[in-house]
Structure formats: C-alpha cells, structure tokens
C-alpha cells in the first residue's frame, strides 16, 4: 500500500487529524503493519524517527496486536471495526492496554 493511499484512508476515517498528529502517524503505522512490522522498513517508508516507530511497535507487540508478523485485528467488522481500529491506535500511543 502506498503512503498516499494510507494517508487518504486515515483522512477518510478522521478528517480532523493532520499529518503531524501522533494519532495520524500511529494509524499509518498500523495500516502499513498489515504488510510489514519490520521497524527499519517502516522507518524508511514513513521517514518517522526509528525510536518513535520502535516504541509503537513494542506496545503493539506487548498488547498482542502484532504477533509473529501478523496484525491481529477486527477492523473490518461493520459494526465495531472503526472503534477497534482507534482502540488499537490508542494502544500504540500508550493510552490504553489490552487485557
């Protein structure tokens, strides 16, 4: 998936977010994470600092959203998918934990 498509998807989900918002960046990392969870590749792809992406990746792995190279999510559920996605963004940001 291209950056342009990822950014467009995020803007469709929440038009109030800007490219500079951490929530926007984490949402982008999560979407690209469907293809790769390699921190170096994500750093190169987005140009975000390595330490930022590493901390997001660590939280996603600790909370079992990213496991064994796969994203475990329910984002395509018509009723709850949007909520699940933003919950996962908040997990990535460190605001929430999954139990």
Q: For residue range 83-96, list pLDDT tens digits in order.
A: 999 999 999 999 99
Domain count, the chain: 1
Mean pLDDT of 38-58: 98
| Six token digits for residue 77 | 């559920």
Query: Which of 92, 71, 95 is closest to 27 using CA atoms?
Result: 92
Give per-residue pLDDT as tens, 2-16: 999 999 999 999 999
| 56 part of a folded domain | yes
Q: Tokens in use for 42?
A: 């994500």
Evaluate whether residue 99 is within a structural domain.
no
Q: Which two tokens stand for residue 23?
A: 């929530």
Q: How far apart are CA 40 and CA 13, in angstroms?
A: 27
Q: Which residue has 């969870």 as its token pair? A: 37
d(CA 41, CA 84): 25
Does residue 98 form part of some domain?
Answer: no
Confidence of residue 98 (pLDDT cuts 50, 70, 90): confident
Tokens, residue 18:
């800007």
With a cut of 90, say whether residue 99 has pLDDT above it.
Answer: no
């Amino acid at each position: 998936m291209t950056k342009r498509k990822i950014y467009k998807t995020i803007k469709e989900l929440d038009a109030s977010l800007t490219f500079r918002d951490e929530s926007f960046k984490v949402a982008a990392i999560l979407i690209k994470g469907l293809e790769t969870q390699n921190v170096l590749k994500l750093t190169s792809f987005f140009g975000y600092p390595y330490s930022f992406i590493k901390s997001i990746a660590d939280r996603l792995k600790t909370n079992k959203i990213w496991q064994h190279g796969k994203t475990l999510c329910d984002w395509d559920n018509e009723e709850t998918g949007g909520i699940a996605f933003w919950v996962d963004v908040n997990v990535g940001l460190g605001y929430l934990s999954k139990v």
